[in-house]
Amino acid sequence: MNPSETIIVIRSLVPNGVAQNDGRLKPGDRLLFVNSIPLENATLDQAVQALKGAASGTVKIGVTKPLPITDSAVSATPFITQKA
């Protein structure tokens, strides 16, 4: 895995955890930083350590949200199926 080409995407949240209960983080969000630790091009282990190592209290998390898929974008996308 090339760290200069990786992104960290939130796949799931801890059930009933702080992030899930807060409601602002969603699966599919791209993680950019935790407090002062930049995570662009970070490894998964670095991202996990940044999250686990955050001090108790307020934690600043930077994310980008995926672009929404509109009905027109879906209908304009061709689907190709192939029979085996």
How far apart are alpha carbons 28 and 10 in whole angstroms? 5
Give 19's contacts (C-beta < 8 A, 6+ positions apart).
13, 25
Q: Tokens 């969603």 — which residue? A: 26
Give 43's contacts (C-beta < 8 A, 6+ positions apart).
1, 3, 6
If one counts the domains in the chain, the total is 1
Query: pLDDT tens for residues 11-44?
Result: 999 999 988 999 999 999 999 999 999 998 899 9
Are 63 and 26 contacting, i.e. CB atoms less than 8 angstroms apart?
Answer: no
The CATH number for 64's domain is: 2.30.42.10
The pLDDT, as a whole number, for residue 60 is 94
pTM of the full structure: 0.70
Range of the domain at 51: 3-76
What mean pLDDT, rounded, does the chain reach?
Answer: 84
49 assigned to some structural domain: yes
pLDDT band at 79 (very low <50, low <70, confident <90, very high): low
83 assigned to some structural domain: no
